[in-house]
Chain A
Amino acid sequence: MNQSIRYLVAIALLLPLAARAQMPHDAIYMGKGSVCVAGMYGRSTWDQYWENSLKRENLNIGTHTTQNVMLMPAIGITNRLNVILALPYVWTQTSAGNLMGQKGFQDLSGWLKYKVVAWKGFSLNAVAGASLPVGNYVPDFLPMSIGLQCRTAMGRLVANYKHPATGLYVTGHGSYIWRSNIKLDRDAYQANDRLYNTDEVRMPNAFDLGGRLGILRKMWQTEVWVERTACTSGDHIRRNDMPFPTNNMQATSVGWYGKVQPRNIGLSARVGYVVGGRNVGQSTSYQVGVLYLFKL
């Protein structure tokens, strides 16, 4: 490495760069050649869930906890095309009952985010995403399974308006998620009120909608958000039965997200709470992250 490059690297480490660490659902872009790597820890707990539409507790579960650590790099290919990747390691446990916790690498996700239109403070962004299961985890030992073993493909539009002077922004997104069929270890299962004599499970597709209101400044960001995710079809948890991958899982969540990144190193935090749903736990979740920004 020659002297000038070493000098540039040192500058990159020290200079206050704009807080541009970004997510697949926002309109923030890494500049060309910039990379932000987020290392995150997340924890989500619930002690009540919706069995179909019936909200209930389960003394044989107590409090259900899912934790994960995740590496999430975002790369600026150009100023208006970014790549984001994520790979979580997930583990589950309960405070009561005797269901064995599961753990392992879950699914590798990737997104391409492209700024289609930018005009004054307004932008329209297209996101394409996909995910592939990485770990050979068991998908139908719910609610202990760490994932559903689906391959997914996602198309999303993100519309954003940011007031140039104040940094006040409003963002809305909508997505459609295709989910592949999955295979089970067993060769018969009950779903959709019938018995299937096969190991293959047809998975419902899903969609999500989100709205965000916040302020984005050079070194910090704060926002409140609301999100709705749901399957487009699927069955419901039967009375006192366990959940199953074909369930039409639906959740409406609200939360807050914030970030400070005075220099290359930044911190992010996110809290969320499910206010309504079906066939899901009413979870409270938080996630903290350390962001590291550098130029290629």
Chain B
Amino acid sequence: MGLTVKKYISFILLPALLAGAGALVVSCDKSIDEPERQAYSPGNLDEKAGAWKPYVLTGSSEVALPEPKAVTSAEYKAELSALKQKMAGLTGVQRDAISYWGAGAVYRWNEIARELAARYNIPPASNAEGKYPVPDANNPLADPKFPFANPPYTARALAYLSVAQYDALVAAWNYKFKYRREAPSKVDSGIQAVLPVSGLPSYPSEDAVVAAASFTVLKAMFPGEVPFLEAKMKEHRESRLWAGMNVESDLTAGADLGTAVAAKVMGRARADGMSTANNQALTAGMIEKAKLLGLTEVWISQESPKRPPMLPNYGAVQTWNFDRETMIKLRPGPPPALDSPDFKKALDELKDIQKNQTREQARIANYWSDGAGSYTPPGHWFRTAVNAAHDAKFSEVRTARTLALLGTSQMDAGICCWDTKFYYYYPRPQQFGLKTSVGLPNFPSYTSGHSTFSGAAARVLGYVFPDKAGSFDKMAQEASTSRMYGLIHFRFDCEAGLKCGVAIGDYAVARGKADGSGL
């Protein structure tokens, strides 16, 4: 080929030089930093939590739990030696599992539920006839998958999850301090627990309680994920043995208790009216009523083909912290008439944002979008709450109480907001020529769901974490305004929704103040 040595050198050197230049532009390390959560010993054991008021149980002794064998018994000693065997020669995978679940039982199961919500939050596709098939709970993995975990669905799923965790833990705390069986590492100094050990009695295991209660609720809410959930539950349970935190009988008792309590909670879920939430036959009457109130142009689906509105009868689902009569009173007053100066002003404001949307406005709209493929606005607030509870080193039962207060407020907010949306049937800005930079939800505009969820959430979290109340309020305000920046809500949708949400949050706070926790 007649190549000179020099040419060979340039053949080798040049690509090397260029690759070096490339490395300056693109870092080779592509691993992602996800926040890690460490195990902790709770700041307060909440020894009296067995007396806290549950939501569905009549009392913390409603589900019976037999007395455990004494730590001096032969049976218990056999359990201790079995535990030592389990703990011997832990693998890396086992250590990872210990540390993952060590972050907190309620913490992790809430995270798992949010993940499932995000994975299932996709609207069904239209079929060849231009219709949208309804997801089928009996065939959850067919197209479309069941459920479509939209905001009302997710609010409800997370509410029941949190209530089941809370009620089951209240019952667990009752038995823990009734039977007072100490942790294995306190009974036998030959057991070196891998995670921090507090003075909390270990029978029944709070981890097994939470795992079983969560599994029972989530398998009903996400029936296509039973194998995934079973694997999680099994790993969670085993991790407590690997870590030397519980003996087998602690776990079995916890699983029995968690399953039994969650079954009672799911009894409420089956009768709460969700089965008729998607009753599309009611919309004609709703539209008539809205027109009688003076609305000249009702909400119409902006999708092609036109998609039936999301859960038009969700407003009839049973609320948690107030009754139906109160809910009607909470419903905000009517939005501006479409020919009023107030409406024109609000529409002009959006037109101006569309024309001049700043990058910061787009960022806020995106940050709070929580749309398709996300864990929805309730999921966003659950994440905020469970992180705050972790930061504050809450006990499992106090974390569960926080999430139950939040969860019930989120479901109440969803119900009240959906009632309002389908009562007024108010059109979206897109019916007046606006585009969106975040995606348009398929239901009436007034009031804003994000605003209602966020107002309620900030109120509840401000009560639980008073020193952070200001920042929660700011977040709620930003979440609310984000819907204007995304061009899918009028200012009055957002303001009325936020105010209503705060009022809804107040009912959850009142419940919290009266639940016997003294918090």
Contact = CB atoms under 8 A, between A and B. Distances in A.
Task: Identify whether the interface residues of B are mostly helix, strand, loop, or mixed.
Answer: loop
B426 interface: no
Contacts of A119: 1-3
B122 A240 contact: yes
A227 interface: no
A196 B304 CA distance: 31
A203 B30 CA distance: 8
Nearest to B362: A138
A290 interface: no
Interface stretch (B56-64, B189-197, B434-442, B501-509): B434-442
Contacts of B124: 240
A292 interface: no
Given A128-B18, A151-B26, A154-B22, A185 B7 contact: no
A126 B375 contact: no
A98 B441 CA distance: 11
A153 interface: yes
A240 B144 contact: yes
A242 interface: yes
Given A60-B304, A116-B11, A194-B115, A99 B33 contact: no
B471 to A, nearest CB: 15
Interface string B14-30: 11011101110111101
Contact of B22 (A96, A178, A195): A178
A14 interface: no
Say which size band chain A's interface belongs to.
Answer: 35 or more
Contacts of B369: 186
Contact of A99 (B111, B143, B436): B436
A131 B440 CA distance: 33
A190 interface: yes
A138 B435 contact: no
B144 A239 contact: yes
Interface string A96-130: 11111100000000001010110100001010101
B27 A180 contact: yes
B375 A100 contact: no
Interface string B107-142: 000010011001100111110000000000000000
B363 A185 contact: yes
A177 to B, nearest CB: 9
B10 interface: yes
Contacts of B143: 239
B32 interface: yes
A180 B25 CA distance: 8
Contacts of B17: 128
Contact of A242 (B27, B126, B372, B487): B372
A220 B242 CA distance: 74
A100 B435 contact: yes
A173 to B, nearest CB: 14
Interface string B289-308: 00000000000001111000
Contacts of B232: none
Interface in B19-68: 19, 21-23, 25-28, 30-35
Contacts of B487: 100
B366 A141 contact: yes
B125 A239 contact: yes
Interface of B: 1-3, 7, 10-11, 14-15, 17-19, 21-23, 25-28, 30-35, 111, 114-115, 118-119, 122-126, 143-145, 302-305, 354, 357, 359, 362-363, 366-367, 369, 372-375, 380, 383, 430, 434-440, 487
27 contacts: A59-B303, A98-B302, A98-B430, A98-B436, A117-B1, A117-B3, A126-B11, A138-B437, A141-B438, A152-B25, A153-B19, A155-B22, A185-B366, A186-B369, A188-B118, A188-B374, A188-B375, A188-B380, A189-B374, A194-B119, A195-B118, A198-B33, A202-B31, A239-B145, A240-B122, A240-B123, A242-B439
